[in-house]
Structure 1
């Protein structure tokens, strides 16, 4: 059965501060849903409330139509990695997973299976305290897979991973979604979202900013621009501005590189030719997912760098 995560008017207040503010969205099976937002946007708090680790001030979060805490033997229903460091350092990887398996009625054979899946079979009996952050992330993912659940949630799972580990995680999440599972992934790495997510939920200051397919989000937030390199930047700027374009230096002011919005590349070229302005380079550039995200969340950054407090 397809299992959906449903968040409805979810609110969490700490004293006089609202961390999550009437947040509503749905995470559906069969796709990887990315969870984006600036630091302090309420992402981790939202994940904790979905899992019943924090109680909401108002609203509700359900998994398969009921609060997660009502699911018996939780690892059969949801696998989650919120903090790779939350594991007893004196235990071995195998002992840690075995304890989780026993407490959830999961067959012992699954411990060996997920250790192999995570690439930890050779270090299964080493103490977790000696693991690198990337290895702890792999162990956390193995624990999330232990009950073979229909819903999986991950908070910054590739932190500390080497390139091979990042590629493994990317392929794993895509495979899990292709199997019809509900995969919810929080990350601040735009490159990982571009390569992994199908759908995005974007929040800022605890409020929903967007919930739509990644492709639509990138297209909505992207502004197409033309990059021009010319030794006559002042003259070309005047010509293009008179034609209705917005022109800004693209790099150092004396580099002769301009970013032009409001006119297509062919029109920029025509105007330069007609006005005898030399152009050395003319290219069209589409804003990246990162640019779209920065534009949408610009007013939601809690601690902007380079600005006085």
Structure 2
């Protein structure tokens, strides 16, 4: 279990983490979301004792992680797949980590096989692709067979097969009773993988709850419609106060009216509909709605 209480970190007068309080429990995958610059990576570093907090506490199974001399037996983490010695082979890298944590040498071979890198065990890491480095970082996190695992953007650089593999791995680790905490900016991955979410913005907590609960927070009437006369339908719907947005494959997304209301408007206006369906609010829509006023960096600059 990970317990964060009133956790705060300031850098030169800038507050990166602002009195965060949340709990990550075993037996489930908890997603960690926030806009760019929200303080996710800093929070993970504070949990791992890589940065000292300005205030508050971060405990792993009741103790600060830095108090554990053989840390990989308690927590496995992937923060940056690039932070490895490129001149070492994958096998040598893992064996050094194993030796420093009193982990059996054979464990390096076991985790390389688990992440699909057995064939590259004797290759130098400098020649690895980003996807291979991510797999190596996951192998290092699994090395000590720890009960708690933290991952920062673990699917970056992975191909579709690799993404499916990671998704299944996280679900299996949680099913084994481990604590799995995953930071990601990919809403689709969180929808498919996470059981619960911790969402922050500008270093402060926005929500800590189940995925479905969070998605429902941003729920607004949304309807998908397709017609051979989209311009006419858009005019009719706009006159009723709806917002209409074009989508792929000739579809339109309508907010502000229910599906039955859209159908009645189209029928009254003599517009033929080829498709009409209500659409549930997505995690991404809820995320944008709930964190929109906490975005630090935007396409138009900083705000």
Which interval holds the TM-score relative to the shorter structure? over 0.9
TM-score where L is the length of structure 1: 0.91
| CA shift digits 1:160-206 (9 cap, x unpaired) | 11111111111111000000000000011111111111100000000
For 2:234 and 2:120, the matched residues in 1 are separated by: 63
In structure 2, the CA distance between the partners of 1:257 and 1:95, relative to structure 1 (3 Å rule), is: closer
Is there any run of 5+ residues in structure 1 with no aligned partner, and where? none
Q: 1:187 aligns with which of 184, 187, 201?
A: 184
Q: 1:100 aligns with which of 76, 97, 100?
A: 97
In structure 2, the CA distance between the partners of 1:16 and 1:181, relative to structure 1 (3 Å rule), is: same
Tell me, what secondary structure is at the counterpart of 1:210?
A: strand
Q: In the alignment, does 2:289 pair up with 1:295?
A: yes
Query: Does the aligned pair in 2 maintain the 1:187–1:193 contact within 8 Å?
Result: yes
In structure 2, the CA distance between the partners of 1:307 and 1:167, relative to structure 1 (3 Å rule), is: same
In the other structure, the counterpart of 2:115 is: 118
- Offset at 1:102? 0.5
For 2:253 and 2:155, the matched residues in 1 are separated by: 36
- Offset at 1:220? 1.8
- Offset at 1:256? 9.8
Aligned length: 297
Query: Does the aligned pair in 2 maintain the 1:50–1:68 contact within 8 Å?
Result: yes
Query: Does the aligned pair in 2 maintain the 1:233–1:256 contact within 8 Å?
Result: no
For 2:296 and 2:32, the matched residues in 1 are separated by: 17
- Offset at 1:227? 3.7
In the other structure, the counterpart of 2:220 is: 223
In the other structure, the counterpart of 1:89 is: 86
In the other structure, the counterpart of 1:286 is: 280
- Offset at 1:292? 1.1
In the other structure, the counterpart of 1:233 is: 233
Tell me, what secondary structure is at the counterpart of 1:177?
A: helix
Tell me, what secondary structure is at the counterpart of 2:6?
A: strand
* RMSD over aligned Cα atoms: 1.9
- Offset at 1:267? 3.1
Tell me, what secondary structure is at the counterpart of 1:80?
A: strand
In structure 2, the CA distance between the partners of 1:306 and 1:109, relative to structure 1 (3 Å rule), is: same
